[in-house]
Each structure stands twice: as structure tokens, then as C-alpha cells.
Amino acid sequence: MLFMAEMEVRLPADMPAGEADEIKAREKAYSQELQRDGRWRHIWRVAGRYANVSIFDVGSVDELHDLLSGLPLFPYMDIRVTALAGHPSAIAEGPNAPENREKERGS
Ligand SMILES: O=C(O)CC1=CCC(=O)O1
């Protein structure tokens, strides 16, 4: 199941820089582990904001929630999640992607 998550980070202005740096370092390691195992497919910075748009590929909504709530920055983020479905015109993803059409034909 694919989901888009839009994350806005709001660290308290009075958080000591060392503490913020430590949380950001843990956040980076956590997200890179999930990128390596394939569940965090994309992460893009939203230009001009301390925010990102990410694409997750997970087995369930509960798994996504566990993954997001485990983010070290979770207490300091607003996260909006949108479920994604395959688009019939897509050539790179979804049911009409060439690799999926080949699977359907059994070749
Ligand atoms: O900087 C961000 O957008 C917050 C974040 C999420 C994963 C990560 O490494 O940073």
C-alpha cells in the first residue's frame, strides 16, 4: 500500500541547538534505514519550508502509523497522510506499468 505523507517540522524556538542536532541525527538514521529496506520510497524537501513530502510503501495503515510515530521528530511534526491508488494512465507505477502488464499476461 502506497501513502504520501506531508511532514511539517516545528521545533520549539527555545530547544537547545545540541538537542535539536541530536534529534535530527537520529531522525536521519531512522529514515535512511527505512529507505534502505524499501518502505520509505521517496523523501523530498518542500522548497522554502522545513517540511518534506514522502512516499511510503507499507503493508497496512497500522504499520504506517507505527513507523511515523517512531520518528524521533514525531513530537515536533504535523503529518498529513494521503492513501495512493494506481492511476490507469501511469507508465511507471500501478496496474498499467509495463512490468505489471507482463505479470498479468503471465510472461
Ligand atoms: O527534515 C525533515 O523534513 C524531517 C525528516 C524526516 C526524515 C528525515 O530524515 O528528516
* Structural domain of 60: 2-105
- 32 CA closest ligand 1 atom index: 9
Check residue 92 and give its pLDDT.
Answer: 78
Residue 37 belongs to a domain with what CATH number?
3.30.70.1060
pLDDT tens by residue, 61-87? 999 999 999 999 999 999 999 999 998
Determine the distance separating the centroid of ligand 1 and the alpha carbon of 74, expressed in angstroms: 10
CB 93 near ligand 1, within 6 Å: no
Residue 64 burial (CB count, 10 A): 19
Nine cell digits for residue 94: 500501478
CB 35 near ligand 1, within 6 Å: no
Q: How many domains does the chain have?
A: 1
What DSSP letter does each residue of the chain carry, written as one string?
-EEEEEEEE---TTS-HHHHHHHHHHHHHHHHHHHHTTSEEEEEEPTTSSEEEEEEE-S-HHHHHHHHHT-TTGGGEEEEEEEE---TT-SSSSTTSHHHHHHHHT-
CB 97 near ligand 1, within 6 Å: no
CB 81 near ligand 1, within 6 Å: no
Which whole number is the average pLDDT over 35-49?
A: 98
